[in-house]
Structure formats: structure tokens, C-alpha cells
Amino acid sequence: MRAVGLTEFGGPEALTVLELDEPHASPGEVRIRVRAASVVPADGMFRNGALAARLTSPAPWVPGTEVAGVVDEAPDGSPWAVGDEVIAIVVPFHQRPGAYAEHVVVPVGSVGPRPQSCDFDTAAALPMSGLTASALVDLLHLERGESVAVTGAGGVVGSLVVQLARRAGATVLADAAGGDEEVVRGGDYAQQIRQLRPDGVDVLVDAALIGASLLPAVRDGGRAASLRAGQLESERGISIVSVSVWDYAEDSARLRALSSLIDEGALVPPQVRTFAMEDAAAAHEALGRGGQRARSVLVF
């Protein structure tokens, strides 16, 4: 099968099309014929070697954490059947290839139904990022009426957090177009939040990984969440919340719930831009440039 991967860490040019043996599903797993795999920030770290310590197999390495596709192997007793259209989170650190491949094998719990209202390309941007946002909002135990400031709200995880926090009854700052004007990039974010909320917000979600300079935005005793563990340290009684999506890599019920929300029109999926799998290097160059406002998706 064809996959996109690397034999040496490096820039986008390190990514090449590889010919690999097809993986096969064992009991408790399914194999998915990948239709689309998204290109997420962690893939850039995988490619440049920043995550090398987590790799457990020799080269070649295949990055990628989320796919949409069709089940094409489902051992007896599987909750999934051949032909099911699905989304899945892929943990790319093991020996089996990551998501940038024509076939991936994942535990049955890593799979959820493809939202029927999304095509495969859009659906591919949902599983890993959606699990992250959903788990984070649950971990924050938001109460109705609480104020939540979200950085990186124009990004994929941030935009999903904004929507899920609003569904939980929170008042979100940095929300959509109006929010973009209220809390502009490059200024003193915390100070601007304080102008809007003199006592500080109840909750901060730093999906842009800006870091400790944001904590003054949070009221004494509030909560602050970072998408990178260890980036924020508690002060003034603020609770620090962190999430690792890998803890939710077999939370099929959560994936099913996300799909349902999208099909009900209660959650707007991320915008995507497609690249042929052969153009993965160009997708990674775009990732490095930032400012995309759409998730790059490799089509297989």
C-alpha cells in the first residue's frame, strides 16, 4: 500500500511516498481504507523529530492522527462491519503506520461513525481534534453562565471548544468574527480580557499555546487549560487543567456523540482544504506558515 512518511526527520521535504506492506486487523481491531487524513500541528513535530522519543519502531515512520474512511477488515465479533463509513483517531507512535496511509489498523474503540452530513474530507478533521475539545470541555466542568476566554479560537480545536463551551451554557469571549475584533492578536490579551471582564474570566482555554502571560486574564480561583501539559503553572488559586487526547484514543462513545452533534447541526465542523497525498510536503509547508483558517487534508 502507499503511505506518506519519512526515513529521516526534517522539513516538509522529508515526506515521501512510501510503498509499505498492508497491515491487517487482529481481533479487537478494524482496518480502514483511508479516504482522507488530516494534517495537524503534532504532525509537524512528528516530522521534525520533536516527538522522536515516543517512537517505538525504526524508520520509515508514518505520521498522522486522524482519518475518515471505510472499514475493510473487521474480525468476527467486531462492533464494526466491512463497508461502515467511519472516522478514527490514530496513535502514530506504534509500529503500525500513522494516518497518512491507504490503510490503517486501529482498536475498535478508536472508531466512530462518519457524520452523514460531512464528506470524508471534512470528517477527517474531526476525530482527534474533536476528542480533544470535547474531553477538555468536560474536564473544565463548565457551569451555565461562566465566562470562558479561548485563544486560537480561529483554529480547529479552539473553534470546537468555543462551540462546545457555548453548548454547556458558558459565555465565550473571542467568539467568531466579533470576538476576533475584541481580542486582537498581538496585543496584551490578558489586559484586553480584563477590560471586558474587570474581575477576570472564570475559565481560560489557551488553544493557541500562548502560555503564562495569559493567566492575569483569569479571576482568582478560576481555571486555566493549556493544550500542552506543563505550560501553565498555578497562581492565585487558579486550577490548571490539561488534556492529553491519547487518554481518549479509545473513547468511541465520544466520537459517536461528536458525529451526532454535527448531523444535528449543533456543531459546525472545521473548514478543510484538500491536498493529494503526493503533495503532503506542500500541506506541511502550509502548516508551518500558519494563518490557514482551514485544516489541510490529504486525500488517499
Ligand X SMILES: NC(=O)c1ccc[n+]([C@@H]2O[C@H](COP(=O)([O-])OP(=O)(O)OC[C@H]3O[C@@H](n4cnc5c(N)ncnc54)[C@H](OP(=O)(O)O)[C@@H]3O)[C@@H](O)[C@H]2O)c1
CB of 208 to ligand X, least distance (A): 3
Helices (H), 149-279: 156-167, 176-182, 189-196, 252-263
Q: Which is nearer to ligand X, 1 or 210 (CB)?
A: 210
CB of 259 to ligand X, least distance (A): 18
Query: Residue 205 in contact with residue 175, Cβ under 8 Å?
Result: no
- Find, among 155, 25, 112, the residue nearest to 77 by Cα: 25
Q: Residue 191 to residues 147, 188, 195, 217: CA-CA distances in angstroms?
A: 16, 5, 6, 7
> By CB under 6 A, what part of segment 75-134 binds ligand X?
129, 132
Helix (H) or strand (E) holding 88: strand 85-89
Which of 42, 240, 282, 299: binder of ligand X (CB under 6 A)? 42
CB of 291 to ligand X, least distance (A): 4
Which of 14, 216, 292, 299: binder of ligand X (CB under 6 A)? 292
Taking CB under 6 A as the rule, which mask of x and - marks residues 44-83 in contact with ligand X? Answer: ----------------------------------------
Which of 2, 20, 33, 41: binder of ligand X (CB under 6 A)? 41
Task: Count the neighbouring beta carbons within 10 Å of the beta carbon of residue 83.
Answer: 9
Helix (H/G/I), strand (E/B), else coil: 182: helix
Going by the DSSP 8-state scheme, the letter that residue 162 receives in this structure is H
Q: Which is nearer to ligand X, 4 or 126 (CB)?
A: 126
User: Which residue of this chain has its Cβ atom nearest to ligand X in the complex?
Assistant: 155
Q: What is the DSSP string of 126-161?
A: SHHHHHHHHHHHHHHT--TT-EEEEETTTSHHHHHH
Q: Which is nearer to ligand X, 220 or 233 (CB)?
A: 233
> By CB under 6 A, what part of segment 198-257 binds ligand X?
207-210, 227, 243-245
Residues making contact with ligand X (CB under 6 A)? 40-42, 129, 132, 151-152, 154-158, 185, 207-210, 227, 243-245, 290-292
